[in-house]
C-alpha cells in the first residue's frame, strides 16, 4: 500500500502565515524579504514546509514563533492553495493561516534578523507566486467576519478608546463608518467596560478608555456593522 501511495503522487505541503497588525490607524501585514530561490530578493508571506511528524496547526505556530518569538497566538486556517504549477520547483500545496497580533509584543530584533517588515495593507509590494491571492482571500474572510461579529481586539492594547476601535474597523473594511451608528451598535452589545481613565494623547479633553468583557464578547451574535 505504501508503494502504491508513492507511485500515485509526490506532493509537498507548506503553510503560509498572514500576520496582521494595527498601527497609527492602519492595518498592516508582516512580510519577509525572501533570501533563496525561487524568487530570491522578493517579498513573501511568512511560511515554511510542514515536517513529517508535524500537524498543520503545529507547523503554522512553529513558523510564527520562529520569526516573531510569539507563542500561544490564536491563528485561524483560511484556505488551501493548490494549483498544479504555483511553485516552479515542485508540486506544493500551501495551507494559509491568519493571525491578529499586537505589534508591540513582537521581538523586533528577531523580526529584523529575518529581513521582515510591516507594510500597510493598501500599500503592499509585489508578492511571489500566488501570495497576493492569499492576502485577498484572508482580507475577504476578515471583512465578512467583522461585519457579522466583533473581531479584531487582538490588534488593540488591553485598554483602548472608541475612536481607536472605530479606526480599526474602518482600516479592515477599507471604508468610513458612521460614528453615531457604530457607537450605538457597540452600546447595544454591552461587551465593553468603560473605565475611569482617559487617553489624552490626542486631545486635552481626552477619550475614555475601555476594556473588553471577554465572557460577554464570546457570546455575541448577530453583530452587523
Same structural domain, 77 and 114: yes
Question: Do 44 and 104 share a domain, yes or no?
Answer: yes
* Within-domain flag for 104: yes
| Mean pLDDT value of segment 93-108 | 87
Q: How confident is the model at residue 38 (pLDDT cuts 50, 70, 90)?
A: confident
Same domain, 125 and 171: no
Of the candidates 98, 125, 143, which is a domain's last residue?
Answer: 143
- How many residues make up the chain in this entry? 225
Last residue of a domain, one of 143, 169, 204: 143
Per-residue pLDDT tens digits for 139-153: 999 998 887 766 788
User: 128 lies in which domain range?
Assistant: 2-143
Beta bridge partners of 33: 43
Per-residue pLDDT averaged across 105-116, rounded? Answer: 77
> What residues does 44 pair with on adjacent strands?
32
The Cα 97–Cα 61 span in angstroms is 9
pLDDT class of 1 with cuts at 50, 70, 90 = low
Which whole number is the average pLDDT over 95-109?
85
Task: Supply the pLDDT for residue 104.
Answer: 77
225 belongs to a structural domain: no
Q: What is the CATH number of the domain that holds 20?
A: 3.90.79.10
Mean pLDDT over the full length of the chain: 88
In terms of domains, do 88 and 63 share one? yes
pLDDT tens sequence across 188-225 = 778 899 999 998 877 778 899 999 888 887 776 556 66
Q: Are 89 and 198 contained in the same domain? A: no
Q: Are residues 123 and 160 in the same domain?
A: no
126 with 38, same domain: the answer is: yes
pLDDT of residue 74: 84
72 with 164, same domain: the answer is: no
Give the domain CATH number at 168. 1.10.10.10
The reply to whether 90 falls in a domain is yes
* Residue 71's pLDDT band (cuts 50, 70, 90): confident
**Domain presence at residue 81:** yes
Q: Are 164 and 128 found together in one domain? A: no
Q: Does 173 share its domain with 134?
A: no
Are both 167 and 64 inside the same structural domain?
Answer: no
Give the 3-state DSSP-derived string for the chain, with helices as H, strands as E and coil as C: CHHHHHHHCCCEEEEEEEEEEEECCEEEEEEEECCCCCCCCCEECEEEECCCCCCHHHHHHHHHHHHHCCCCCCEEEEEEECCCCCCCCCCEEEEEEEEECCHHHCCHHHHHHCCEEEEECCCCCCECCCHHHHHHHHHHHHHHHHHHCCCCHHHCCCCEEHHHHHHHHHHHHCCCCCHHHHHHHHHHHCCEEEEEEEECCCCCCCEEEEEECHHHHCCCCCCCC
Structural domains of the chain, count: 2
Q: Per the domain annotation, does 148 fall within a domain? A: no
Residues 183 and 128 both lie in one domain: no
Amino acid at each position: 500500500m505504501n508503494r502504491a501511495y508513492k507511485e500515485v503522487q509526490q506532493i509537498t505541503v507548506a503553510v503560509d502565515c498572514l500576520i496582521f497588525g494595527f498601527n497609527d490607524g492602519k492595518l498592516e501585514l508582516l512580510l519577509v524579504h525572501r533570501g533563496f530561490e525561487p524568487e530570491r530578493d522578493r517579498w513573501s508571506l511568512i511560511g515554511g514546509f510542514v515536517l513529517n511528524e508535524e500537524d498543520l496547526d503545529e507547523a503554522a505556530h512553529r513558523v510564527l514563533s520562529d520569526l516573531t518569538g510569539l507563542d500561544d497566538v490564536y491563528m485561524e486556517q483560511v484556505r488551501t492553495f493548490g494549483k498544479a504549477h504555483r511553485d516552479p520547483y515542485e508540486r506544493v500545496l500551501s495551507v494559509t493561516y491568519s493571525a491578529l497580533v499586537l505589534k508591540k509584543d513582537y521581538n523586533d530584533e528577531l523580526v529584523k534578523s529575518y529581513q521582515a517588515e510591516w507594510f500597510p495593507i493598501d500599500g503592499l509590494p509585489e508578492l511571489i507566486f500566488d501570495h497576493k491571492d492569499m492576502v485577498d482571500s484572508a482580507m475577504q474572510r476578515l471583512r465578512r467576519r467583522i461585519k457579522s461579529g466583533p473581531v479584531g481586539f487582538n490588534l488593540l492594547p488591553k485598554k483602548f478608546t472608541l475612536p481607536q476601535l472605530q479606526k480599526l474597523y474602518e482600516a479592515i473594511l477599507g471604508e468610513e463608518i458612521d460614528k453615531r451608528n457604530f457607537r450605538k451598535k457597540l452600546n447595544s452589545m454591552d461587551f465593553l467596560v468603560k473605565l475611569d481613565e482617559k487617553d489624552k494623547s490626542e486631545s486635552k479633553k481626552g477619550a475614555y478608555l475601555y476594556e473588553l468583557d471577554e465572557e460577554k464578547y464570546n457570546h455575541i451574535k448577530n453583530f452587523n456593522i
